[in-house]
Amino acid sequence: MVGRMGSRLQSLKHRMARRLNRAAARAGLSWSRLNQVEAALFRDIPAAERGDVQVFDRLYKLHGPLRSTAGLTADAKLAAELHFLFREKAEVALTAGSSWYGGDYFEFGAHDLNTFRNMLSAYDMCGMTQAYTDVRFYAFDIFGDLAKPGSSASTDESLNAYFAPYTQGGNAIKLHEKYLDQHNLFRDKCILVQGLFQDTLTPEFKSIYLKENRKIGFAFLDCNVGSSYRTVFEFIFDMMGENSYIYMDEYFQNPLVPNYFAQFTEELRKQRSMGSLYIRNAGGYGAVFRLHPIWQDTSPLSLKLSAKR
């Protein structure tokens, strides 16, 4: 039952992701398209009176509720929805950056580098990150190339189907390097690791990383499929730092993800004396948690009702 429901949700998520990617290309990358969206949202306010109001904030009435979208074009509605979805993830990066305890940023599922670049900006902007200058930003993905020599995927049909939308443009590593050059933040600290997680998240990588005395400050999991979540959870278990963050983009959508996370946190508690605190959601799909040390020496509170109340 859960398996059938999980795979239906997965295919819905894939279709949605493809639709959003196409829409982002249409709505997000063209200024003239954005100008049309802006005109549709602001049509009742003369240009001279718009000031510096954020265009999508116009969706809300003065006292909070959403305005009617009946008069918006399909493009404007899509752009507004995209804005909401992407903004939520940008706020997740700011949430972690605003209360930072050190460590490196690891993103699993990084194609297009939208959320990766969110974190570069959040890290640059937030005060608490400034004390931690020895930071690295790792991005793990196939970056369009599933058929690297020795790849585990070449024979797996279901994996090929999942990756199809991400491989149709061919090897995109150079393009992703260009995105980083253009973003122009922490460029020498960014590391793109190309390949399937099954091939790149190796014991050798981990052993060198831990010998360098490094730890993960934020693990950002945006990898859609349950099997990829499993690979990542098993890899990061002993690399997560105290007070580190973990974000799961499918936490509320794919039942496998909260299930794996429950196992992950149970073992963290038993083997590493770490607990987890829910921090916030991203829309109806994602959630971010912080992993905190459990204080062994805390004596219980003395809580008694007074005689006279």
Ligand X SMILES: C[S@@+](CC[C@H](N)C(=O)[O-])C[C@H]1O[C@@H](n2cnc3c(N)ncnc32)[C@H](O)[C@@H]1O
Least separation, in Å, of the C-beta of 294 and ligand X? 31
Residue range at the interface with ligand X (CB under 6 A); choices 25-33, 69-77, 109-117, 182-190: 109-117
Please name the residues in contact with 49: beta carbons below 8 A apart, sequence gap of 6 or more.
none
| 222 is a site residue for ligand X (CB under 6 A) | yes
Q: Based on the shown chain and the rule CB under 6 A, indicate whether residue 110 belongs to the binding site for ligand X.
A: yes
What are the Cα distances from residue 163, in Å, to 17, 152, 173?
12, 13, 15
The reply to whether 93 sits near ligand X by the rule CB under 6 A is no
Could you tell me the smallest distance in angstroms from the CB atom of residue 292 to ligand X?
Answer: 25
109 lies in the binding site for ligand X (CB under 6 A): yes
User: Contact at 8 Å (CB) between 239 and 263?
Assistant: no
- Angstrom CA distances, 134 to 105, 114, 213, stand at 11, 23, 12
**All residues at 6 or more sequence positions from 305 whose CB lies less than 8 Å from its CB, including other chains:** none
Q: Does 253 bind ligand X (CB under 6 A)?
A: no
Please give the residues from 146 up to 165 whose contact with ligand X meets the rule CB under 6 A. Answer: 163
**Dihedral angle, C-alpha 150, 15, 175, 182, nearest 10 °:** -140
- Residue among 143 and 289 whose Cβ is closer to ligand X: 143
User: Is 197 a binder of ligand X (CB under 6 A)?
Assistant: yes
| Stretch near ligand X under the rule CB under 6 A, chosen from 40-48, 125-133, 174-182, 217-225 | 217-225
**Residue placing its CB nearer to ligand X in the complex, 186 or 229:** 229
Size of the site for ligand X (CB under 6 A): 19
- Whether the CB-CB separation of 289 and 278 falls below 8 Å is answered with yes
Structure tokens at 97: 């950056």
| Burial environment of residue 309 by CB neighbours within 10 A (0 to 12, 13 to 18, 19 or more) | exposed
Counting contacts by CB under 6 A, is residue 17 touching ligand X? yes
177 touches 143 (CB < 8 A): no
Indicate whether 111 belongs to the interface with ligand X (CB under 6 A). Answer: yes
CB of 42 to ligand X, least distance (A): 28
Q: Pick from 166, 186, 235, 251 the residue near ligand X by CB under 6 A.
A: 166
Q: Among 37, 92, 180, 223, which residue sits at the site for ligand X (rule: CB under 6 A)?
A: 223
